[in-house]
Amino acid sequence: MPSVADGPDGLKALSGTDLGRTEWLDITQNRVNTFADATDDHQWIHTDPERAKDGPFGGPVAHGYLTLSLIIPLFGELLTITGIKMSVNYGLDKVRFPSPVPVGAKIRLHGAVGTVEEVKGNGVQMPLTFTIEVDGSDKPACVAQAVYRHYA
């Protein structure tokens, strides 16, 4: 069950909070192919399982940007925000992809809130550190420092 924050004060109260981890999500070849179609990135290490067997990862892997984009739906498992009129993805401060996500793997999201500060327009800026973990791997697939703005 996700944490719930109500309005700017509820978000400020989350400063320094570990939001925990989501459930595991399967990374299927269909998901990878759909992302390839959406982005016109059909590189064989992602979309050609037969050729990818002989590649550097021993099989197809998810696009790094697919892994990054999955933060959006997974984040909803960690936090529900109420009492806000508008939320904006303000940007990313840093993104790294320390290890690949093999097709067939399971991933989950770990989220931690930094210091939430007030911004003009009756809002708050909320920095988060997101880590995409791969089941059975000691190394994360993605570490991203994201910044969101929420306005009441």
Tell me the per-residue pLDDT of 32-65, one tens digit each, with 9 for 90 and over. 999 999 999 999 999 999 999 999 999 999 999 9
Mention every residue, 6+ apart, whose C-beta is less than 8 A from residue 113. Answer: 14, 15, 16, 17, 18, 19, 126, 127, 128
Phi, psi of 30 (to 5 degrees): -60, -45
Task: Retrieve residue 17's tokens.
Answer: 């909070």
pLDDT tens-digit profile of 117-149? Answer: 999 999 999 999 999 999 999 999 999 999 999
| Closest-CA residue to 74 (of 37, 111, 38) | 111
How far apart (Å, rounded) are the C-alpha atoms in residues 30 and 28? Answer: 5
- Reduced to 3 states (helix: H, G, I; strand: E, B; else coil), residue 71 is helix
Mean pLDDT of all residues belonging to the chain: 97
* Predicted local confidence at residue 1, as pLDDT: 79
User: Given this model, what pLDDT does residue 68 score?
Assistant: 98
Residue at 16: amino acid letter: G
Which domains occur in the chain, in start order? 3-151 (3.10.129.10)
> Are 25 and 106 within 8 A, CB to CB?
yes
